[in-house]
A and B are shown apart, each in its own frame.
Chain A
Amino acid sequence: MSYVVSFLSLAIKFATVFLFGATGEIVNQKSGHLNMGTPGIMYLGALGGIVGERIYLSSIPADAPLNPLLIVFIPVVFAIIFGALGGAIFSFFTVTLRCNQNVTGLTLTTLGVGIACYFIGSIDTSRMAEAGLLMQHAFSGYEAAGWFGEIFLSQSWFTYLGVVIAILAAVILRYTRVGLNLRAVGENASAADQAGVNVSAYRYVATIIGGAISGIGGAFYELDNVKGMFNVADGIDAFGWLALCIVIFSLWRPTIAIFASFFFACLSVAPTFFAPYLAGAGYVRYLLMMVPYVATIIVLIVTSVVSKKDHAPASLGVPYFREDR
């Protein structure tokens, strides 16, 4: 029982990274931007998070107690700025310079990974482990609520923020005029333009906001790394790509993305979680490590075979230039 509880708790924590990435990418894709720079943007967000935390830690006396809210708030602000910057670069190239989205995205990923890894490696990590421990749980006393508390109330602020953002994104997309306009831009940019929607502005803003959201995911992964490997940012790119798949899996709906992220998180957490119990059979651990990727492929295949209707925004990946008609 306690295994199950701690497994689920860990999975939810992990799902948070996916959820931020996927929600950000959904906002991107709803505007017609297939942003393959998301892994790079998540890396930039991770760098932002670390930079933010360093700035906070350096601003207080070396032995002063850490403020549990500020150690979350300041990194989030920086992650948002860095992620948004990534989104802004992407939209500058695809909207203003009308470059190919795939190429821009891949280049952004290369650049983002390079920059983030370079600088993260050179940042002083003192007291970060302490901060990481402190931001583990948003609420103290969650143990009182039994298994429910262990699973659902033991999470950090990031997790709750992720769910709130996802739901907010869903509501805005579905029920507001802004959401309607944004969806129209992704479905048929030319029609939206005709109707008076500023296509470029919507794409810019959506991509920047999407980048900011994805960035928080990267920051969370980096900061929550309590094992102390703060100067290594490894594997965030894999989370970024998986987030892209979660978008397809959740049919471009942030609310479904919440559950899809959890599902993929379970698959991703399983190998590390079960590794200690599988001592002796070395290669089983590797097979487990493949599971999330294999699952993604199966998801891709199943969606392509089963679904006759394409849920993707109709002009996803298509650039828009008014005089191009």
Chain B
Amino acid sequence: MDCIQLEHITKTFGDVIANDDVSFVIEKGEVLAILGENGSGKTTLLNVLGGIYRPDHGKVLINGEEATILSPKDAYSYGIGMVHQHYQLVEAFTAIENVVLGLSRKELLAIYDRFEEGQEQHGFRWCRLRDSAKHMQTMCERYGFALNPKKTVSDMSVAEKQTLEIVKVLFRGVDTLILDEPTAVLTPQEAAHLFDVIRNMKRDGKTIILITHKLNEVKEISDRVVIMRKGKYIQTIPTAEASEKSLAEAMVGESLNLDIPRSDIPTTGERLEVRGLSVRNREGRAVLSDVSFTLYGSEILGIAGVSGSGQRELLEAIAGLCRDRDGDIIFHNPKKDKPVTFFHKNIKQIRALAAEGKLYFEGGKPCDLRHFSNKEIADLVNQEKILFYEDEIVDFATKTPLEIRNLGAKLSFVPEDRLGMGLVGDMDLIDNVLLRSYRKGRGKLLHKEKSEAIAQEIVTDLEVATPSLSTPVRKLSGGNIQKVLVGREIMSHPKILMVAYPVRGLDINASYTIYHLIDEQKKAGTAIMYVGEDLDAMLGLTDRILVLCDGKVTGIVDSRAVTKEQIGLMMSGKTYSGEANA
């Protein structure tokens, strides 16, 4: 019988057991889904099969014989190829250069033989790039790929890169293909196309192993499902016999409430007005062009788009992190009828505001501070006797992140790259909380007491699992890292909260904790921008969705009145007429 058997695979990283005695069988010609939450060890396990990791114990049997897979090259020799979630492509090379990379002349000729079956061979055989390109095109036509062999990878879209990865693996003549979360970065349409390709490959006799945590994909494409939980093998079910609910419960190990919270509450006035925002990247290429929208308090605005459509740049531009930008980013600080505080204004600024007629005394009298001494003003401010007439208007477009913070604008940003941008991996919880406030306090030395209290509060309130406050955050699990980051940003009581891919890499329970936290903030009046890749979750959580394609807005729609397919079309550039009016 043709099959791959995994027997008692165990792989540990230090004290973390990624795979614990996992055994199951992969049949030839099937589409096998490996279903598990993030962190359940499915990628690690298949990396063992793909030659990336070496198991501590256990073995792989291929057609009943023990196989030694010490490198990806060994895996290829057994006909196993893997497409990783993070594409393994050389950006500076063309498609065909990536495809032939690492192949020896002998291997190339063997591949050519496959393509030139039945043709007579005469004399010296060349293995030029153009010969390989010719064969690659033949193969692309067979499976329905559209790929130019001479295109440089850095110029490719995400979908093209994925296609190239699959082509690269197929070119080597593998018959078992491992796809790790292949739809994570695709539009619904692109995902559908990928599934067609998978069906084509299956018809061609290939075995496909699909690593995923998305239940609908499992149902749609797979023949059998292997379920993993916390590094352990749980069970194998024929897909036809399972429902999404039963799969979810098997995956998580407990019954679940999969309802995403969305409080239906009225919005509370304009918070942020973006007009004609354009951003160029370091090479001077436009990554956002002419983006305009308004964000309200107590509202969640979803930002949808294929990854790299400008979501990141949009948030970074608002946070003041992109320098090369045009357009207005107007912040409405909800100060109307609120007292002036020393939190973000000093006496001099208060005098200036009073002179402009922007302040009034409690009771309604216009505030004229010319005859008051500094001490008198300080007393009045501390007693909250001086109030604003109107909301304060601030233009972010000209400000640096520090200036924005000093204005008391209370803008919080949970970036997608948690350890690369939000937190410092090698620093502990206290220092990471300190990062937002270390400038406070007198003198040149740091004052950690307050941060320590806040860190403790985050750990208690959000149930962060950490050995201590002085553990480097890198050592925490993805979910706990995210809790620390979101917790730190929420603790500053933001007026605007921007979150980018907040549940990426989190298990289901952690994801729902985060969704609830975001909804709580909305109830507290915060204006929220939410960038995500899971459209189902976005449709459930947000009030409106702004769709970006190539840095342009292709529509702003009401989440309650739009379908996933419509969003998908907009993500690929089709504008949608049903504009939402919030």
Name A's B-contacting residues (CB within 8 A). Answer: 177, 180-181, 183-184, 187-188, 190-198, 308-309, 314, 322-323, 325
Contacts and interface: CB of A to CB of B under 8 A. Distances in A.
Contacts of A183: 90, 92-93
A181 B127 CA distance: 15
* 9 closest residue pairs by CB, A with B: A195-B102, A196-B73, A196-B102, A191-B88, A194-B88, A195-B101, A197-B102, A187-B90, A188-B90
B89 A191 contact: yes
B53 interface: yes
B478 to A, nearest CB: 15
Nearest to B283: A308
Interface in B12-41: none
Contact of A181 (B53, B102, B105): B102
A17 B126 CA distance: 38
A314 B53 contact: no
A194 B71 CA distance: 8
B282 interface: yes
B128 to A, nearest CB: 10
Main secondary structure on chain B at its contact with chain A? Answer: loop
Contact of B90 (A192, A196, A323): A192
Nearest to B82: A194
Contact of A192 (B54, B92, B100, B101): B101
A197 B283 contact: no
A188 B88 contact: yes
A181 B52 contact: no
B84 interface: yes
Main secondary structure on chain A at its contact with chain B? Answer: helix
Determine which residue in B98, B102, B284 has the highest number of CB atoms from chain A within 10 A of its CB, and name it: B102
Contacts of A191: 88-90, 98, 101
Determine which residue in A180, A195, A325 has the highest number of CB atoms from chain B within 10 A of its CB, and name it: A195
B206 interface: no
A177 B127 contact: yes
Contacts of A193: 71-72
B7 to A, nearest CB: 21
A191 B54 CA distance: 18
B196 interface: no
B103 interface: yes
A31 B97 CA distance: 17
Contacts of A308: 282-284
29 contacts: A183-B93, A184-B90, A184-B93, A184-B101, A184-B102, A187-B90, A187-B93, A188-B88, A190-B88, A191-B90, A191-B98, A191-B101, A192-B90, A193-B72, A195-B98, A195-B102, A195-B168, A196-B72, A196-B73, A196-B101, A196-B102, A196-B103, A197-B101, A197-B102, A198-B73, A322-B52, A322-B53, A323-B54, A325-B52
B76 interface: yes
Contact of A180 (B53, B54, B73, B97): B97
A305 to B, nearest CB: 13
Contacts of B72: 193-196
A95 to B, nearest CB: 15
Contacts of A181: 101-102
Contacts of B101: 180-181, 184, 191-192, 195-197
A188 B89 contact: yes
A192 B76 CA distance: 14
A150 B93 CA distance: 43
A195 B283 contact: no
Contacts of A322: 52-53, 71
A323 B12 CA distance: 11
Nearest to A325: B52
Contacts, number: 72
Contacts of A325: 52
B104 interface: yes
A195 B71 contact: no
Nearest to A311: B92
B353 to A, nearest CB: 43
Contacts of B71: 193, 196, 198, 322
Contacts of B97: 180
B290 interface: no
A314 B104 contact: no
B91 interface: yes
B88 A195 contact: yes
Contacts of A187: 90-93
Contacts of B91: 187-188, 314
Interface string B271-285: 000000000001110
A177 B84 contact: no
Given A187-B92, A188-B90, A188-B91, A194 B104 contact: no
A193 B98 CA distance: 12
Contacts of A177: 100, 103-105, 127
Nearest to B99: A195
Interface string B33-69: 0000000000000000000111000000000000000
Nearest to B97: A180
Contacts of B84: 194
Contacts of A314: 91-92
B103 to A, nearest CB: 7
A169 B53 CA distance: 34
Interface string B69-84: 0011100100000101
A213 B181 CA distance: 45
Contacts of A198: 71, 73
A284 to B, nearest CB: 42
Interface in B282-316: 282-284
A181 B73 CA distance: 14
B52 A323 contact: yes
Nearest to A322: B52
B100 to A, nearest CB: 7
Contacts of A180: 93, 97, 100-101
Nearest to A178: B104
Nearest to B53: A323
A196 B72 CA distance: 6
A203 to B, nearest CB: 14
Nearest to A194: B88
B87 to A, nearest CB: 8
Interface string B97-120: 110111111000000000000000
Contacts of B54: 323
Nearest to B172: A196
A323 B101 CA distance: 21
B127 A196 contact: no
Contacts of B89: 188, 191
Contacts of B92: 183, 187, 314
Contacts of B282: 308
B45 to A, nearest CB: 14
Given A181-B101, A183-B92, A188-B91, 8 more contacts: A177-B104, A183-B90, A191-B88, A196-B76, A197-B101, A198-B71, A314-B92, A322-B53
A61 to B, nearest CB: 50
A325 B100 CA distance: 23
Nearest to A188: B90
A187 B73 CA distance: 19
Determine which residue in B53, B88, B98 has the highest number of CB atoms from chain A within 10 A of its CB, and name it: B88
Contacts of B90: 183-184, 187-188, 191-192
A323 B72 CA distance: 12
A191 B52 CA distance: 12
A188 B52 CA distance: 15
A58 to B, nearest CB: 45
B21 to A, nearest CB: 20
A251 to B, nearest CB: 13
